[in-house]
Amino acid sequence: MVELADLKTVGQPNWCPGCGNFPIWHSLKKAIVELNLKTHNVAIFSGIGCSSKMPHWVNTYGFHSIHGRPLPIATGARLANNSLTVVAVGGDGDGYGIGVGHFVHAMRRNLNIAYIVTNNQVYGLTTGQTSPTSDKGYATKSTPTGVIEMPINPIALAIASGATYISRGFSKEMKHLTKLIVDGVRHNGFALVDVLQPCVTFNRKNTYKWFSERVYKLEETNHDTTNKQAAFLKSLEWNDHIPIGLFYKEIRPTYEDELQQIAETPLARQKIEDINIGTLMTEFE
Amino acid sequence: MGVGGLSWKIGGGAGYGIMTTGFIFSKVCSRAGLHVFDHIEYPSLIRGGHNTYQVIAKVEEVFSHLKKVDLLVALNRETIDRHEDELVLGGAILYDGDKISLIEEDLGRKDVRLYNVPLLRLAEESGGRRIMMNSVALGASVALIGFDFARISSVMRDVFQGKARDTIDFNIKAAKLGYDYVKCKAIEKDFRRELPEVDGKKRMLLTGNEAVGLGAVKAGCKFYSAYPMTPSSSILHFMAAQERSFGMVVKHTEDEIAAINMAIGAGFAGARAMTATSGGGFSLMSEALGLAAITETPIVVVVCQRPGPSTGLPTRTEQGDLKFILHASQGDFPRFVIAPGDVEECFYRTIEAFNLAEKYQCPVILLLDKYLSESHKTAEKFEVSEIKIERGSLLNDEELEKIGEFKRYEFTETGISPRAIPSQEGGIFTATGNEHDETGYLSEDKTVRTRMMDKRFRKFEQAKKEVPEPELFGPQDAEVTIIAWGSTKGPIKEAIRLLAHDEIRTNFLQIVYLNPFPADIISRTIDTSKKTVVVENNKTAQLANLIREKTGKEVEHKILKYDGRQFFPTEICQMIREVMYNG
Ligand SMILES: Cc1ncc(C[n+]2csc(CCOP(=O)(O)OP(=O)(O)O)c2C)c(N)n1
């Protein structure tokens, strides 16, 4: 049995007091415990940002990489060893900004990866510039007169891109978030858990209070999570009412499922000594 | 080319099937037991433009393409206008007089033989499509060199494998009509350049890229990710075709950034991983290269150079990326840079690259260029019995269990730390692009930083002792010593052969490992040589600059070419003569 204590590492998170990343971190650990995963069979991949430091504080295999690239790295690792439980974590700048290309492609591939995006609608680590999800008009250091563009809608993007588990959590709703992560990791396919993560230092608008007044749980409505159109309509809700929970879920073969070469033994565990290329060489005669 | 050899060139617009025709001719010669080198030139477009395919076939080994042509097969007028001057004295042009009106006076010379073969009419007669002119020309060419027709039909069947029966049959028929036409008119009696068939030895005919692919398969590459970019794409095609038979996962990614990062992820997870690209794609990969280095993740990156900057001349050749490859990415870190010079080296060095990547837990870059990547050469079957797979300090499950406290980045005497992969119990660590302590945990401590940098570079001190020294080809007491790297090896070897006829004794120091750099040997060679010269396919003599940087010595003479084409051996000869007599 895995316990929370097993997930402790030498360090402690250095996020700002009250940072919305703490509850996400706790929820991830709780999910690992609840799923009773062997710590050495879990690998957590992240990019760069405040939130991307998370792998250092969860005692599993980890890869804290470069800005925007956790998904390709996780993809390579998952394809190299499809017995691993692969989780990716990163900020909205990381995933929806610099890494948005990978985000879209990872979803259409439907790899068995759970991707948690700590969406604080600003760039935290670089001290509060606008992010791809900042609300229109929001003023930051890099947009002193307010953001001109429309924000990216990650849920709608995920629906359009073919992700098979699409959800949104809220840092303040830890139990709810833990369940989303548990189900996302359990889901055989690409699972997005976008998390409303208040940045207490740089986001003066989208605060705990702001969200608390607006969020409601999809489970408490009659939302049909198998209905893509309904999910899309729900994804458009913002400002007055913000849905959290599972938007959409679908069972579709994963990318890995279609690869017969890893059906029995993961690549990383295949023998590479004495590979016979005799016949292959003959083909060049 | 004289007895026992032929230089054949076919030219026409893109869409004429020049590549396939040339390759079939190449393979016919190779299967007849001859040594072959072939070489393609084409612009970056799918229809139109001007494509050529040259095949050099000889009884003795042939190392490069040649300027001179014995038989020019012209599928259009442009081929004649562009290449007429390449014909040897008494060389021949095979063309279709119904399509191209050509009289002797059109040519600036009287010695050229004109063989008018109705390519189009015979193609139509065969019942196939007009494009099968190329097969008619192929049949005619093979008749001219005196081979049995059966040689073409068997190669055609193999090359067209998987195509519709009709297509194969029509092509063979078209070739037969061309073949018979030549025989019937006894044109081969006029050409008098029959090639000997020296059956017996079966050789492979393959490109540098295919040799890299073969090497990767043999080395146990399990994961290959790439984004198509000429001239690296044929590695992707080769690997993709082998994916299932050799249990690999081959991924055409969304871009080069994904390609290298996926390879890093796979390397981290314990699968031997490779990616390939050209300079433009490598530019996109450069940030991740530094990530592989600081996380000490083994990866192999193949860079098939083409002329830049930006899109440059996408289908031509150049050695312009050496300095870039040596320095790409942020910060200081060790990397291997290996430049094979021919198909054999492409194979063996690729295997070596995978071993070095795992032994030293760092990125290894293989540096090719279009000329090496896409030219076919005959080669003996590779000797595989001695090949070893060396995984360095990758711990197995038992070793990991015994080790007690595992520190992924442990400070060791050699700088090489024990390595575990996800799924191994007791090996848990986090790889990070940030500086870190021995366990992998984040650290910006100044002592840790210094010690980690030193540790990573200490690995390389170790590596220097292992990598093979550069080879010196040719006589010890040469009058001229050439120093060069990569694909110029072939033309240089041919040039040395030619220079020997002029009694100019030349030798050649081939630098295969550009990092770690064999500064001592080069320095000694410069000191002990009468005249030194670099031969480089770039504008700024990048190797010569590197030599100056690492040895403080200047290579006296520089033979440079940067028009997007490889050196002809005769060009090197001429410039060496200038060095000898004027330099
Ligand atoms: C290639 C590159 N560009 C820029 C940066 C600087 N940078 C570090 S984190 C970051 C954005 C962080 O925002 P986000 O991903 O939303 O994460 P957060 O810090 O808010 O958790 C940027 C731009 C970098 N490290 N690498």
- Residue-wise pLDDT for A132-155, tens only, equals 999 999 999 999 999 999 999 999
Residue B387 falls inside a structural domain? no
Q: Residue A80 and residue B251: Cβ atoms within 8 Å?
A: no
Tokens of A129: 């510039």
- The H or E element spanning position B212 is helix B208-219
Query: In this complex, how many residue pairs, one in chain A and one in chain B, have their CB atoms less than 8 Å apart?
Result: 204
Residue B558 falls inside a structural domain? yes
CA distance A156 to chain B (A): 21
CA–CA distance, B372 with B208 (Å, rounded to integer): 5
Length of chain A in terms of residues written: 285
Residue B386 falls inside a structural domain? no
- pLDDT-based confidence at B171, cuts 50/70/90? very high
pLDDT value for B104? 82
Q: Please check whether residue A71 is in contact with residue A102, taking contact to mean a CB–CB distance below 8 angstroms.
A: yes
Choose among A104, A267, A278: nearest Cβ to B223: A267
Q: Are B310 and B402 members of one domain?
A: no
- Percent of chain B exceeding pLDDT 90 equals 90
One-letter identity of residue B406: F
Q: Are B186 and B48 members of one domain?
A: yes
Closest CA to A132 of A212, A210, A49, A233: A49
Q: Are B16 and B164 members of one domain?
A: yes
Which residues numbered 80-109 in A keep a CB inside 8 Å of some CB on B?
80-81, 83-84, 101-102, 104-105
Residue B347 falls inside a structural domain? yes
CA distance A112 to chain B (A): 15
Which residues numbered 272-291 in B keep a CB inside 8 Å of some CB on A?
272-273, 287-288, 291
Question: Which residues of chain A have a CB within 8 Å of the CB of B273?
Answer: 76, 80
**Ligand 1 centroid from CA A62, angstroms:** 19
CA–CA distance, B422 with A74 (Å, rounded to integer): 12
- pLDDT-based confidence at B3, cuts 50/70/90? low
Residue B390 falls inside a structural domain? no
Q: Are B244 and B145 members of one domain?
A: no
In this prediction, residues B390-418 reach a mean pLDDT of 96
Q: Are B336 and B424 members of one domain?
A: no
Q: Are B183 and B59 members of one domain?
A: yes
pLDDT tens per residue across span B29-77:
999 999 999 999 998 888 778 999 999 999 999 999 999 999 999 999 9
Q: Are B254 and B328 members of one domain?
A: yes
Pairing of strands B336-338, B513-515: antiparallel
In chain A, domain spans:
4-282
How far, in Å, are A48, B240, B287 from residue A73 at the CA level? Answer: 13, 20, 13
pLDDT value for B201? 77
Q: Are B106 and B189 members of one domain?
A: yes
**Ligand 1 centroid from CA A91, angstroms:** 8
Q: Which CATH number fits domain A4-282: 3.40.50.80, 3.40.190.10, 1.10.1040.10, 3.40.50.970?
A: 3.40.50.970
pLDDT value for A150? 97
> pTM for the whole thing?
0.97
pLDDT tens per residue across span A60-95:
999 999 999 999 999 999 999 999 999 999 999 999
Final residue before a domain boundary, out of B201, B228, B259: B201
CATH number for the domain spanning B246: value is: 3.40.50.970
CA–CA distance, B196 with B66 (Å, rounded to integer): 20
**Angle (nearest 5°) at CA B508 between B503 and B514:** 165
CA–CA distance, B222 with B271 (Å, rounded to integer): 6
State whether residue B412 is helix, strand or coil: coil
pLDDT value for B348? 98
State whether residue B312 is helix, strand or coil: coil
CA–CA distance, A168 with B413 (Å, rounded to integer): 49
Q: Does B269 touch chain A (CB under 8 A)?
A: yes
Q: Does B419 touch chain A (CB under 8 A)?
A: no
pLDDT of B556 above 60: yes
Q: Residue by residue, what is the 3-state secondary structure of chain A?
A: CCCHHHHCCCCCCCCCCCCCHHHHHHHHHHHHHHHCCCHHHEEEEECCCCHHHHHHHCCCEEEECCCCCHHHHHHHHHHHCCCCEEEEEEEHHHHHHHCHHHHHHHHHHCCCEEEEEEECCEECCCCCEECCCCCCCCCCCCCCCCCCCCCCCHHHHHHHHCCCEEEEEECCCHHHHHHHHHHHHHCCCCEEEEEECCCCCCCCCCCHHHHHCCEEEHHHCCCCCCCHHHHHHHHCCCCCCEEEEEEEECCCCCCHHHCHHHCCCCHHHCCCCCCCCHHHHHCCC
CA–CA distance, A119 with A138 (Å, rounded to integer): 15
Final residue before a domain boundary, out of B346, B379, B412: B379
CA–CA distance, B571 with A200 (Å, rounded to integer): 69
* Atom 7 in ligand 1: residue holding the nearest Cα: A126
Cβ neighbours, 10 Å, residue A231: 24
CA distance A76 to chain B (A): 4
pLDDT of B225 above 70: yes
Residue B388 falls inside a structural domain? no
Cβ neighbours, 10 Å, residue A261: 18
Choose among B244, B259, B424: nearest Cβ to A261: B244
Closest CA to A117 of A206, A21, A22, A250: A21
Pairing of strands B35-41, B336-338: unpaired
Q: Please check whether residue A62 is in contact with residue A88, taking contact to mean a CB–CB distance below 8 angstroms.
A: no
Q: What is the ipTM of this complex?
A: 0.98
Residue B448 falls inside a structural domain? yes
pLDDT value for A24? 98
State whether residue B497 is helix, strand or coil: helix
B224 pairs with which residues across the strands?
B250, B274
pLDDT value for B2? 52
pLDDT value for B391? 98
Choose among B204, B257, B424: nearest Cβ to A69: B257
Closest CA to B185 of B87, B55, B72, B94: B94
Instruction: Report how many domains make up chain B.
Output: 4
Q: Residue A74 and residue B265: Cβ atoms within 8 Å?
A: yes
Q: Are B367 and B402 members of one domain?
A: no
pLDDT tens per residue across span B297-333:
999 999 999 999 988 999 999 999 999 999 999 999 9
* Mean pLDDT across chain A: 98
pLDDT of A115 above 90: yes
CATH number for the domain spanning B501: value is: 3.40.50.920
- The H or E element spanning position B188 is helix B187-191
CA distance A99 to chain B (A): 10
pLDDT value for B45? 83
In this prediction, residues B238-248 reach a mean pLDDT of 97
Is the bond preceding residue B422 a cis peptide, omega within 30 degrees?
no
Is the bond preceding residue A23 a cis peptide, omega within 30 degrees?
no
Q: Are B170 and B185 members of one domain?
A: yes
Q: Are B179 and B248 members of one domain?
A: no
One-letter identity of residue B441: Y
- Which residues lie closer than 8 Å to B501 by C-beta, 6 or more apart? none
Final residue before a domain boundary, out of B379, B405, B427: B379
pLDDT value for B583? 67
Q: Is B35 left (phi over 0), alpha (psi -120 to 50) or beta?
A: beta
Q: Please check whether residue B5 is in contact with residue B36, taking contact to mean a CB–CB distance below 8 angstroms.
A: no
In this prediction, residues B395-409 reach a mean pLDDT of 94
Length of chain B in terms of residues written: 583
**Ligand 1 centroid from CA A49, angstroms:** 5
Q: Please check whether residue B336 is in contact with residue B364, taking contact to mean a CB–CB distance below 8 angstroms.
A: yes
CA–CA distance, B515 with A65 (Å, rounded to integer): 26
Residue B389 falls inside a structural domain? no
Task: Give the nearest chain A residue to B205 (CA atoms).
Answer: A284
pLDDT of B1 above 60: no
Q: Are B244 and B257 members of one domain?
A: yes
- Percent of chain A exceeding pLDDT 70 equals 100
CA–CA distance, A280 with A278 (Å, rounded to integer): 5
In this prediction, residues A90-106 reach a mean pLDDT of 98
pLDDT value for A170? 98
How far, in Å, are B234, B571, B574 from residue B473 at the CA level? Answer: 30, 19, 20
Q: Does B19 touch chain A (CB under 8 A)?
A: no
Q: Residue B442 and residue A11: Cβ atoms within 8 Å?
A: yes
Is the bond preceding residue A253 a cis peptide, omega within 30 degrees?
no
Q: Does A5 touch chain B (CB under 8 A)?
A: no
Q: Residue by residue, what is the 3-state secondary structure of B80-109?
A: HHHHHHHEEEEEEEEECCCCCCCCHHHCCC
With 0-12 CB in 10 A as exposed, 13-18 as middle and 19+ as buried, what is A220? exposed
- pLDDT-based confidence at B404, cuts 50/70/90? confident
pLDDT of B200 above 80: no
Q: Residue B266 and residue A11: Cβ atoms within 8 Å?
A: no
* Atom 1 in ligand 1: residue holding the nearest Cα: A67
What backbone torsions phi and psi does residue A235 show, to the nearest 5 degrees?
-65, -20
Question: How many C-alpha atoms does B232 have within 13 Å on its Cβ side?
Answer: 26
Q: Containing domain of residue B264, as a range?
A: 205-379
pLDDT value for B318? 98
